[in-house]
Homo-oligomer: A and B are copies of this chain.
Amino acid sequence: MRHDHLIDTRQLSREDIEAVLDRAAEFADDPSSFGDRHPSALLGLMFYEPSTRTKMSFETAMKRLGGDVVDMGPVESSSVKKGESLADTARVIEGYADALVLRHPSQGSSKLVSEFVDVPLLNAGDGAGHHPTQTLLDLYTIRENAGLDDLTIGIMGDLKYGRTVHSLAHALTNFDASQHFVSPESLQLPRSVRYDLHEEGAQVREHTDLDAVLPSLDVLYVTRIQRERFPDENEYREIAGEYQIDRETLASASDDLTIMHPLPRVDEIAPEVDDTEQAKYFEQAHNGVPVRMALLDQLLSNDE
């Protein structure tokens, strides 16, 4: 595997991560002033699943750098329907582009494709696997708002199936973070993730209730509890209701709390929270642009 494929944040050292975040901070200052950076670069987009945020922010990032995209488009309008393999499609599209972005529902798909293509590949989510650019924009948002040193973070919601959460937890072991996981018992961290985190030396505590831990948090990272995880609608409603955030919930939180959410949200955070100084989830989504600019700039500069 080429060093410049990005498949999993675990391939990045603390120094690698900080270099990306530093560069992102430069881009964030004035994203529209870098149009001369990569004026002839083309980014190939391969999205096998619906995506708004990830796809649009990659596209925005590339265009802010002066380049452009070529998009495979929805699977329904592509050769995939004619039975073409993922590796074949990628080997065709790499001939059109200077780098590729892949989102695919199958875990391991980005790793597989990275073994077939010669241009840099960025994993934009491979099912239950990894989503490294999401993790980097989460880290960037934390650093800008709360700092990554001596961090106390609460991560709440669906911790069992949440790919985003597992990646972030692993990445935070590079820093001096105290991690509190808050979830109903049925959606706790999988044993394997808990084991890996301990092996990596993470400071981890688990809770079923937010109240006790909320006052000590610098960051509260909320994720969605999905209806589909519960056979019984009533059980879902009851549990989901306990893990919703509103102004009342936040009464005991620090004024400096940073509230994050990978979006889209449904009912996990009440709209009344949007106007607080603590709400940073839209800023977090917007941070996808400078962070992806930093990654693309790095890859395309390596190539020159």
A-side residues, CB < 8 A to B, are 32-33, 35, 39-42, 44, 47, 50-53, 55-57, 59-60, 63-64, 68, 70-74, 76-84, 88-89, 91-93, 95-98, 263-266, 282-283, 285-286, 289
Contact = CB atoms under 8 A, between A and B. Distances in A.
Given A42-B63, A63-B42, A64-B40, A96 B264 contact: no
A167 B158 CA distance: 49
A86 to B, nearest CB: 11
A80 B283 CA distance: 19
A84 B282 contact: no
B70 A264 contact: no
Contacts of A98: 32
Given A95-B286, A263-B84, A265-B88, A63 B68 contact: yes
21 contacts: A32-B40, A32-B41, A35-B39, A35-B40, A44-B56, A50-B77, A51-B77, A51-B78, A52-B78, A52-B89, A52-B93, A60-B96, A63-B70, A82-B266, A84-B263, A84-B265, A88-B263, A88-B264, A88-B265, A91-B282, A92-B282
A200 B283 CA distance: 45
A88 to B, nearest CB: 6
B95 A282 contact: yes
A263 B95 contact: no
| Residue from A76, A77, A81, A263 whose CB has the most chain B CB atoms within 10 Å | A77
Number of copies of this kind of chain in the complex: 3
Contacts of A44: 56
B83 A266 contact: yes
Contacts of A57: 96
A263 B92 contact: yes
A88 B72 CA distance: 27
Q: Which 3 A-B pairs have the closest CB atoms?
A: A95-B286, A84-B264, A60-B96
A70 B74 contact: no
A51 B63 CA distance: 24
A260 to B, nearest CB: 14
Nearest to A282: B91
A78 B49 CA distance: 9
Contacts of A72: 52, 56
B40 A264 contact: no
